[in-house]
Amino acid sequence: MARRFPRVMGLAKMCRNRNISFKSLDPPSSLTHGIHIFHCPDAVGIVAKLSECIASRGGNILTADVFVPENKQVFYSRSDFVFDPVKWPRVQMEEDFLKLSQTFSAIRSVVRVPALDPKYKIAVLASKQDHCLVDLLHGWQDGRFPVDITCVISNHYRGSNTHVIRFLERHDIPYHYLCTTNENKREGEMLQLVQNTDFLVLARYMQILSGNFLRSYGNDIINIHHGLLPSFKGGSPSKQAFEAGVKLIGATSHFVTEELDAGPIIEQMVERVSHRDNLQSFVQKSENLEKQCLSKAIRSYCELRVLPYEENKTVVF
């Protein structure tokens, strides 16, 4: 199964390379929030039909984002809307959006109701560095991510008295230590551990996943790495960059593909550094960017803001 991206909704042909966004008032507390995304061949009347679909059931669009790239004849859309689940049951909603999808020969169409639908199930893979893993765990605890963490998998042993292990035990999240070698990456065991997840997060997991693993897993995998590539590779890239006197550092979150660190980009962040930084502050700034960038990418993915565009790009609403 190929990479699975979230999917999109519809809009009318107005101008080329258009990027349209509009907002309405906040919903009354009695209504339920829904998200619909659409990806289809461009055509006249998509937005009108979408609005009619939602309004005919008593719903109201709060935000709508549309992108139609120049000379591509393809349409992308994401809508936030509110509705009364008594007047518009979840099953009926699926049927209505399916009809819309069939009308416009949609490539992807997904509707999500966060308050009613199950949370995404994810597994987190990490190596020795803790910063992204710890930030993700605390973000999950604080409710920043609409996910259930099924387990944490690592090729690095962590003792029972470490912060990570104590946190996981307190929240009944299993920790699986899989000692890997160049000859045995333990991917068969890993596949068993992640088989019921919706997507994976690599929180600084310093192992290359094989093409066979990616094909066997079939769902999306989100990775994070520092923005010092390709100039500074291998061990201690931050030290290499610091000694080279770089003035700009960053982080990149992307989907994992068979080509190393070359999957479609979800989020990137940058920050300036200067001669006033020592190695410690340099590393701290780099790690903070990685945490923020990964967190933003996960939230965007869960909120159906990320759509595939062309061969190796993304539309991020």
- Chain-centroid distance, C-alpha 170: 26
Catalytic residue status for 261: yes
Give the pairing of strands 306-309 and 313-316.
Answer: antiparallel
> Which tokens belong to 285?
């700034």
Instruction: Mark 146-183 as b/e (b = at least 16 C-beta within 10 Å).
Output: bbebbbbbbbbebeeeeebeebbeeeebebbebebeee
User: How does DSSP classify residue 90?
Assistant: H
> Which tokens belong to 310?
């062309």
236 in the Ramachandran plot: left (φ > 0), alpha (ψ -120 to 50) or beta?
left
Q: Which of 80, 135, 220, 261 is catalytic?
A: 261
> Which tokens belong to 6?
């979230």
User: In sequence order, which residues have a C-beta less than 8 Å from that of residue 78 and are 6 or more positions away?
Assistant: 8, 9, 35, 36, 37, 38, 64, 65, 304, 305, 307, 317
User: In sequence order, which residues have a C-beta less than 8 Å from that of residue 54 and are 6 or more positions away?
Assistant: 36, 60, 61, 79, 81, 83
> Which tokens belong to 267?
């989020």
Q: Are 68 and 11 in contact (CB under 8 A)?
A: yes
- Chain-centroid distance, C-alpha 262: 16
Q: How far apart are CA 63 and CA 60, in angstroms?
A: 9
Which amino acids are annotated catalytic? 261
